[in-house]
Amino acid sequence: MTKFGMAQPVRRVEDPRLLLGHGRYTDDVAAPGALFGYVLRSGYAAARLLKVDATAALALPGVVAVYTGADLAADGIGGLPCNIPLKNRDGSPRASVPHPVLATGMVRHVGDPVAFIVAETIQAARDAAELVVVEYEGVPSITELADALDPSAPQLWPEAPNNTAFDWDFGDKAEVDALFASAHHVTKLDLVNNRIVVASMEARAALAVYENDRWTLTSNTQGGWGIRNMLAEAIFKVDPKAFRVITPDVGGGFGMKLFLYAEHVLVCYAARKLGRPVRWASERSEAFLSDTHGRDHLSQAELALDKDGKFIAMRIRTVANMG
């Protein structure tokens, strides 16, 4: 049998350990003296963020710190990067909008992180979150993807006119249009590929330890090297050698755990500020608000056929929700 041959079965060796409960996931990793982080999130889809007052929260027993976007900005913490080098069909660069780790000035979706509470116990952190006073001024938002490109729709980002992140195409438009013009029959179909949330069996989690000017981040990622480089270069602006990212067993990812998330940054930031390990784990309902979603496409598909029913061309226009 050819080694690594196509369609060759591969013997699985990890199953007995995982099925017998001997897996080691991020929240199983011990960290003596670790503090617990909790993210206070926006209940608004879109609003001006007028004030965040953590005075009462900080007075609660067991609460160690409450961080806001202003704190991160004062310490020079960069925003979450988008490293996809897409260009529009006319060659211009895609829209590039700021993505702060904690909201500053505006919140832009339900679940947008507003403050990070760090406490001796997760219960103390949850209780403190209820005492953080946040003043919002609601502004119009968009829920339906079909409405987003309407000229009368609220404009979500000044940097993205007409709410368009990028306008991209593939194929020979002139040739396709000519084939459609000569087609004996054209079939059209509207397709809705609905928005989905991953809901992985193991929710996202992160544990940061900062010692001797170096971080060790343990997290259930799908790409530790990329996350390490973004944390170092875009967020903390240090040599990548200052970061070590460890990924233990991962209980489902499906693409959602590929990305650098705000919580990766927050536990690393707090660990450095406080000199103690800091851990965070997503709650199930929180995951629906904070995990990267998928799909949410509206497509208009057209198929051109000749007189014998042979397919001669296909033309599809898709509007995709980029969040």
Domains with residue ranges and CATH for the chain = 15-147+197-294 (3.90.1170.50)
Q: What is the DSSP letter of 128?
A: H
pLDDT digits (tens, 9 = 90+) for 250-291: 999 999 999 999 999 999 999 999 999 999 999 999 999 999
Cα–Cα distance between 180 and 315 in angstroms, integer? 9
Q: Which residue carries 């509206």 as its tokens?
A: 298
Residue 1: the pLDDT is: 54
pLDDT at 7: 82
Single-letter residue type at 174: A
In which element (H, E) is residue 289 found?
helix 284-290
In contact, 27 and 250? CB cutoff 8 Å:
no
pLDDT value of residue 295: 93
Q: Can you list the positions of beta strands (E) in 73-131?
A: 106-107, 113-119
- Rounded to the nearest integer, the mean pLDDT of the chain is 96
131-189 pLDDT, tens digit each: 999 999 999 999 899 999 999 999 999 999 999 999 999 999 999 999 999 999 999 99
198 falls in which pLDDT band (50, 70, 90)? very high
Tokens read off for 59: 């007075």
CA 40/CA 49 separation, integer angstroms: 13
Using CA atoms, how far apart are residues 34 and 70, in angstroms rounded to an integer? 25
**Cα→Cα distances 158→22, 48, 84, 91, 175, Å:** 50, 15, 20, 20, 36
Q: Whole-prediction pTM value? A: 0.94
* Those residues with Cβ within 8 angstroms of residue 101's Cβ, 6 or more apart along the chain or in another chain: 69, 72, 77, 79, 80, 113, 235, 262, 265, 266, 269
Residue 44: per-residue pLDDT = 98
